[in-house]
Structure formats: C-alpha cells, structure tokens
Amino acid sequence: MNEKLGIPLKVWNGIEFGSYIEIAQEVQSKSDDTKRWIALYALQKMTEEMKNSVHSYDFIKKSKDFMYCVVDFEIPIRIIEFNDGFDVGDAVNLKYFTADTEDELVSIFKKEGINPELFVPPWRCDYPT
C-alpha cells in the first residue's frame, strides 16, 4: 500500500512504474438507473498528442497541465447495455479535480469521501473507455 495515498502498492506501482494511465473503482451510484465510477488519471504519463486528441475526454483536455486528474461520474445503465463505447456526453453528475502532488490527491480523496484502497486497474471494475 502506498502509505501516503492509501492506494494498494501493486496498483500505484502500475501508475508510477508501469503502463497504467488510469486506475479506477466502481462505487455506489446515487440512482438505481446508473453506474458510478471514480478514476485517477496520471496525466504526466500521457503525451501531449494524447491529451489534445479529438478523442480525449474534455476533462483531460482541461486538466492537461496538471500531474493528476480525479474524475467521478455516472452513466445510465440503459446506455451501457446498448452501446459499445462511452461518450463523455453520456455521463451524468460528472465532476473532476486536478492535482500536482500526492498531498493534493489525499486532500481530494478526503474531501470527496473516496476510499483509495478500492482503486484497481480499469479492467478489474469494468471501467468504461
């Protein structure tokens, strides 16, 4: 476990030393009609081309000058069931936070009630891409 952040060490090492650009967790949704995820993007691992691509999410483009972006959103289940892809326009209750340091990440986690121990690689929680 990364002591400061509370993220499992194996998962954090995927960000720090591996190939993970994001880690995520599925959490309790505010509605029975949606699914909710929280993700941590390691923006420093993305190339400028990736950050500015027309295919990049708007929150990535707006956060591109920071080291990290934490995003929290929900997607209606009907969209998940009938679509192969995810468009940021499908998200409801979208909010994002930027950080440059681990201390800032800890502050975001505390303020938003995010349990960092629940972060996993995106494929382990069916994170939509």
Report yes or no on whether pTM surpasses 0.85: yes
**Is residue 86 very low, low, confident or very high in pLDDT (cuts 50, 70, 90)?**
low
Average pLDDT over residues 15-41: 94
Q: How far is CA 109 from CA 4, 32, 39, 54, 114, in A?
A: 11, 24, 11, 29, 5
Domain boundaries of the chain, sorted by first residue: 9-119
The token duo for 44 is 């420093």
Q: Would the pLDDT of 58 be above 90?
A: no
Phi, psi (degrees; rounded to nearest 5) at 91:
-75, 145
Whether the pLDDT of residue 15 is over 80: the answer is yes
Tokens 């995520």 belong to which residue? Answer: 24
